[in-house]
Amino acid sequence: MTTRRLPAARATVLLLVVAVAAVLAAGLHGGPASTTGAAGDPIPAPALHGTTLDGGRFDLAEARGQVVVVNVFASWCGPCRDELPLLDDIARRWSPYGLRVVGLNLRDGPEAVRALLSETGTTGLTVLPDPDGTQAVRWGVRGVPETFVVDRDGRIVARRPGVVTQEWLDQRVTPLLRAA
């Protein structure tokens, strides 16, 4: 009896093992990719407007024709402090080629942000306060810092959760400036 059943049992086990392995491999392979938040097809950028920290007015819709880097940051976020000088630097250097950088300040107080900007030497940055965080949620922000690149047609073409690097900005922003 046992000897006759054995081949069928072994075939079943083999099939199941292959099926489980395939599903596991597919799951492991596909899982992290879907959570990287890397930009797939460009999507229209949600609205972003309001009174800036220095009392001016910012409206993303009026920045059409420019490349806009939207950086979501807060004074209570350590890594944000490190990347602000880099963002301020590209804002100054690349603005002649059609770049705007705007900091969306998530759930923060104006005094705390001003202190952060002055400590990091980035008082020139355009900062849009988002005291209740709802503008950030409209953009699907998952945490701070997070950075979006909006092209000249108002579409989000890149997003980066976490700290931005010069290399990432070179890769994602400079080609858009060149296309001017």
Partner 1 sequence: MSWRRLLGVLAVAALLAGAGTGLLRSSAPDPDTDPVRTIAAGLRCPACQGESVADSQSPIAAAMRQAVADQLARGRSPAEIRRWFVERYGDEVLADPPARGLPLLLWAVPALALLGAGAAAVRTLRPPRRRASAAAAVGSAPAGVAARRVWWLSCAAVVALVAAVAVVAGRLEDAQPQAPPADPVAVTLQLARELEQQQRYDAAAELYRDALRELPDDGVQLRLAFALLRAGDAAGAERTAREVLTRSPDSPDGLLVLGLAQRSTRPEEAPQTLRRFLTVAPRHPAAEEISRLVDG
The tokens for 138 are: 């409209």
How buried is 109 (Cβ within 10 angstroms: 0-12 exposed, 13-18 middle, 19+ buried)? middle
CA separation for the pair 180, 173 (Å, rounded): 12
The interface mask with partner 1, positions 62-81, x = CB under 8 A, is ------------x-x-----
According to DSSP H, which parts of the chain are helical?
2-35, 78-94, 110-119, 134-138, 166-172, 174-178
Is 41 among the residues that bind partner 1 (CB under 8 A)?
Answer: no
CB of residue 141 to partner 1, shortest distance in Å: 7
Task: Tell which one of 25, 47, 112, 115 touches partner 1 (CB under 8 A).
Answer: 25
**Total binding residues toward partner 1, as defined by CB under 8 A:** 55
Closer Cβ to partner 1, 32 or 55, answer by number: 32
CB of residue 6 to partner 1, shortest distance in Å: 6
Closer Cβ to partner 1, 55 or 134, answer by number: 134
CA separation for the pair 167, 164 (Å, rounded): 8
Residues 6+ apart with CB under 8 A from 147: 69, 70, 71, 72, 159, 160, 164
CB of residue 48 to partner 1, shortest distance in Å: 14
Q: CA 87: distance to chain centroid?
A: 14
Sites of contact with partner 1 (CB under 8 A): 1-3, 5-6, 9-10, 12-13, 16-17, 19-21, 23-30, 32-35, 74, 76, 93, 96-97, 106-107, 130, 132-134, 136-144, 166-168, 170-171, 174-175, 177-178
